[in-house]
Amino acid sequence: MELSKKVKVALDETRMLILGAQILLGFQFRGVFGDGYDQLPADSRYLSGVALGLMICVVGLLITPGPYHRMVEAGTDSGRFHRLVTIVAELALLPFALALGLDLFITVERIFGERAGAAAGIVAAGAAIGLWYGFPRVRRLHVGHRERAMTRGQSQDRSNTPLHAKIEQMLTEARVVLPGAQALFGFQLAIVLTQSFEQLPTASMIMHATSLFLVAFAVVLLMAPAAYHRIVYAGEDSEDMHRVGSVLVTAATVPLALGLAGDVYVVVTKIMGSPTAGLIAGSLALVLLIGLWHVYPLVAVSIQDQGAK
């Protein structure tokens, strides 16, 4: 298969993963403000915070290829980028499986009790890990040798990516980022109408309002390339469209990272009853997201430039 087609398939698969992650991320943000949340055992409340942290890792990893592709490769396909997408997807599946197990434990425990919840969580996480890691690794012992060898042979290739493919992939990367923003934005709007929100400290309310505006701005930026493409070029391919769209999609990750970190502060403060814990969690989330989406690509660009010299 051509390298550009492989990259497109890899990005589509990443998009599938983040659509699933969107559901859990929305639940973990929204559930903390549910009417029955404060009635959960303390252990379950803390585990919900752990699950939130795991899903932040998942979303951070799955969005990473987009900024990397824009900043390092300028939208051009390469064997190195295809390998990055593969590694990122594989890494994201483990925290995804663990968060899935924790969320099912919390939910089933609420209905049927602790033992049933533990059984449901273990079975769900085990099934996910088995199907996502175990089954493929067993199968790769017997099949796929030729295909993997072909991919390894392309590891240093750099495709002469046509403009149409660059624009298509840029829009796909925008669609990868958008579900994370949608999940957070929906939570941000909904919790303002809950009784739990009224009981938050003033600092948490201000942080939530700030995060809401940041995520709204991120959503606007992510949707702007489509409007620009329609209005300016009537859907025709253009280098300007690719350049402007790339800038908009990459820029959107900055307010999204800040908005996610801000609401991690709000949620963890509510779970732990401690602004200090919320500040630590929010800061860690921000460092992780900015590190994956901006620092890592910038370091890669620097290394690439030094190698060229």
The angle at the Cα of 145, spanning 144 to 148, to the nearest 5 degrees, equals 80
What is the distance, to the nearest Å, from the Cα of residue 284 to the centroid of all Cα atoms in its chain? 15
Backbone angles phi, psi at 274, to 5 degrees: -140, 115
Distance CA 149, CA 155 (A): 10
pLDDT band at 309, cuts 50/70/90?
A: low
DSSP state of 294: I
What is the distance, to the nearest Å, from the Cα of residue 229 to the centroid of all Cα atoms in its chain? 25
Average of per-residue pLDDT across 185-199: 88
Average pLDDT, the chain: 92
| Percent of the chain whose pLDDT exceeds 90 | 72
Please tell me the predicted confidence (pLDDT) of residue 237: 92
pLDDT band at 146, cuts 50/70/90?
A: confident
User: What confidence tens digit (pLDDT) does each residue in 247-272 have?
Assistant: 999 999 999 999 999 999 999 999 99
Distance CA 219, CA 177 (A): 9
Copy the structure tokens of residue 99.
Answer: 């968060």
CA-to-CA separations, 60 to 200, 289, 300, in angstroms, rounded: 27, 6, 17
User: What confidence tens digit (pLDDT) does each residue in 227-241 have?
Assistant: 999 999 998 999 999
Distance CA 208, CA 189 (A): 10
- pLDDT above 90 for 295: yes
Please tell me the predicted confidence (pLDDT) of residue 296: 96
- pLDDT above 90 for 280: yes
User: What confidence tens digit (pLDDT) does each residue in 70-106 have?
Assistant: 999 999 999 899 999 999 999 999 999 999 999 999 9
Please tell me the predicted confidence (pLDDT) of residue 1: 64
Distance CA 141, CA 144 (A): 8
| Cβ-Cβ contacts under 8 Å for 162 (sequence gap 6 or more) | 4
CA-to-CA separations, 260 to 67, 70, 236, 255, in angstroms, rounded: 17, 22, 34, 8
Distance CA 104, CA 184 (A): 20
Average of per-residue pLDDT across 183-192: 87
